[in-house]
Amino acid sequence: MADTTSLYLQLSFHTETAGKDYSMSFRYPQADVEAATVDTLMDLIIAKNIITTLGGALTTIKDAGIVTREFLDLVV
């Protein structure tokens, strides 16, 4: 496998259970994604209650960001 770098949009939420958070990641985010768009998306996910976790329903936004992951091939 070759050396690779991948970008992900990571969304993190607080749940109904104190201390239990939930995160989801999406590969290949748009290069020009705006904070307001992500905030609106996260509010919609919470309002529609479309995801239930072991910690219960999603309640509030914790954070969101772009994550860069690198894979450096050590064995060829």
The number of distinct structural domains making up the chain is 1
Question: Average pLDDT, whole number, for the chain?
Answer: 95
CA distances to 29, 32, 33, 72, 75 from 49, in Å? 23, 27, 23, 39, 44
Query: Within a domain: residue 37?
Result: yes
**Whole-model pTM over 0.75:** yes
Reported confidence tier of residue 67, pLDDT bands at 50, 70, 90: very high
* CB-based contact 59:21 (threshold 8 Å): no
Q: Give the type of residue at 40.
A: T
Coil, strand, or helix at residue 42?
helix
pLDDT, tens digit (0-9, with 9 covering 90-100), for 17-51: 999 999 999 999 999 999 999 999 999 999 999 99
Proportion of the chain above pLDDT 70, given as a percent: 99
Who contacts 35 (Cβ-Cβ below 8 Å, separation ≥6)? 64
Query: Within a domain: residue 76?
Result: no
Mean pLDDT of 53-70: 96
What pLDDT is attached to residue 75?
87
Domain interval for residue 52: 4-71
Query: Within a domain: residue 28?
Result: yes
